[in-house]
Amino acid sequence: MHTADHWENVYLSKSFDTVSWYAPHLAESLRLIEQLCPSKAAAVVDIGGGESTLVDDLLNREYLDVSVLDISGTAIEFTKRRLGTKAGAVGWHVGDVTTYDFGAKRFDLWHDRAVFHFLTHLAARQAYVDRLRRFVKPGGFVLMATFGPSGPLKCSGLDVVRYDGQKLQQEFGEDFELLGSELSLHHTPSGTDQQFLYSWWRVSPEKAEL
C-alpha cells in the first residue's frame, strides 16, 4: 500500500485516542520547545502532527506562528474541526515530508515526534535531511523523537528504524550540532510501554541552503 494511503486508512479506521502514539499532551515536546524557543514569535512546525494535541497546546501557550504538516488530509481536517475558530491561526500543510515544499517559509524550530523512524530507506532519510537544511533557519533548532534502542521494531504495521544518539547524529551530519538527548517511556493506550529517544540540534548558522 502507498504510504499516504496507509495513513489515510489508519486515521479513517481508528479513533484518535486509540492509536499507539496517542498522548493527551506531549509533555516532553512542550517542555523542550519552550526551552529552545521561548519567544512566542518563533516559527514552529510540527511534522506528522496529524491528530496530535501539540498544536492546541502551543496555541494555548500563545505561540503566534505554528504550522502542521501531515501526509494525511483526514488527520489534518480532524484537528481543524477540533480547534474550531483557532484553526485559522495555524499554517496547515498536507504532504510527504521528504518531498514537501514550504515555499518561502522558514522555521525557528522543526518538531518531529515519530515520523523519521518510519524512513527505512537511506534515500528517504537523505531527502528528509535536505528538507531540514532548506526550511530551518540558520541557527534554528530541530527537535526529534524516534524509537530508542529498546523501542518497537514495527509500528502501525510498518517497519521502523531504532536509534541511539550516535546513529541518529550520523544521519544528520556536521550541519547539525547535537545539544542534548534523553530517553523517555511512552505509555500507549493499550497499556504497553514504548521507548523513545528525544534529541535536539542547533542548525549551523553558516549552513547553505540547497
Q: What is the DSSP string of 20-55?
A: TT--SS-HHHHHHHHHH---TT-EEEEET-TT-SHH
Rounded to 10 degrees, what is the CA torsion of 123, 200, 35, 101? -10
Tell whether 175 is covered by a domain: yes
For residue 135, name the pLDDT band (cuts at 50, 70, 90). very high
What is the reported pLDDT for 108? Answer: 98
As a whole-number percent, the residues of the chain with pLDDT over 90 amount to: 71
Distance between CA atoms of 164 and 206, rounded to whole angstroms? 27
* CATH code, 195: 3.40.50.150
Average pLDDT over residues 134-142: 97
What is the reported pLDDT for 162? Answer: 95
Distance between CA atoms of 29 and 148, rounded to whole angstroms? 16
Tell whether 16 is covered by a domain: no
Number of domains in the chain: 1
Q: How many CB atoms lie within 10 A of CB 209?
A: 10
What is the reported pLDDT for 208? Answer: 45
Average pLDDT over residues 63-92: 96
For residue 181, name the pLDDT band (cuts at 50, 70, 90). very high
What residues pair up with 57 in beta bridges, in sequence order? none
Whether the Cβ atoms of residue 100 and residue 128 lie closer than 8 Å to each other: no
Tell whether 182 is covered by a domain: yes
Tell whether 70 is covered by a domain: yes
Q: Which residue has the higher pLDDT, 50 or 81?
A: 81
Average pLDDT over residues 22-40: 91
Whether the Cβ atoms of residue 171 and residue 131 lie closer than 8 Å to each other: no
Q: 4 phi and psi, to 5 degrees? A: -60, -40
Q: How many CB atoms lie within 10 A of CB 142?
A: 24
For residue 145, name the pLDDT band (cuts at 50, 70, 90). very high
Q: How many CB atoms lie within 10 A of CB 117?
A: 25
For residue 156, name the pLDDT band (cuts at 50, 70, 90). confident
Tell whether 208 is covered by a domain: no
Tell whether 209 is covered by a domain: no
Q: Is residue 19 pLDDT above 70, yes or no?
A: no
Distance between CA atoms of 8 and 20, rounded to whole angstroms? 16
Q: Is residue 29 pLDDT above 80, yes or no?
A: yes
For residue 11, name the pLDDT band (cuts at 50, 70, 90). low
Average pLDDT over residues 86-92: 98
Q: Indicate the burial class of 197 (C-beta count within 10 angstroms; 0-12, 13-18, 19 or more).
A: buried
What is the reported pLDDT for 5? Answer: 77
Q: What is the pTM of this model?
A: 0.88
Radius of gyration of the chain (CA): 16
Tell whether 210 is covered by a domain: no
As a whole-number percent, the residues of the chain with pLDDT over 70 amount to: 87
Instruction: Indicate the pairing of strand 90-94 with strand 65-70.
Output: parallel
For residue 189, name the pLDDT band (cuts at 50, 70, 90). low
Of 68, 54, 50, the C-alpha closest to 4 is 50
What is the reported pLDDT for 2? Answer: 52
Tell whether 38 is covered by a domain: yes
* Domain span at 197: 3-11+22-203
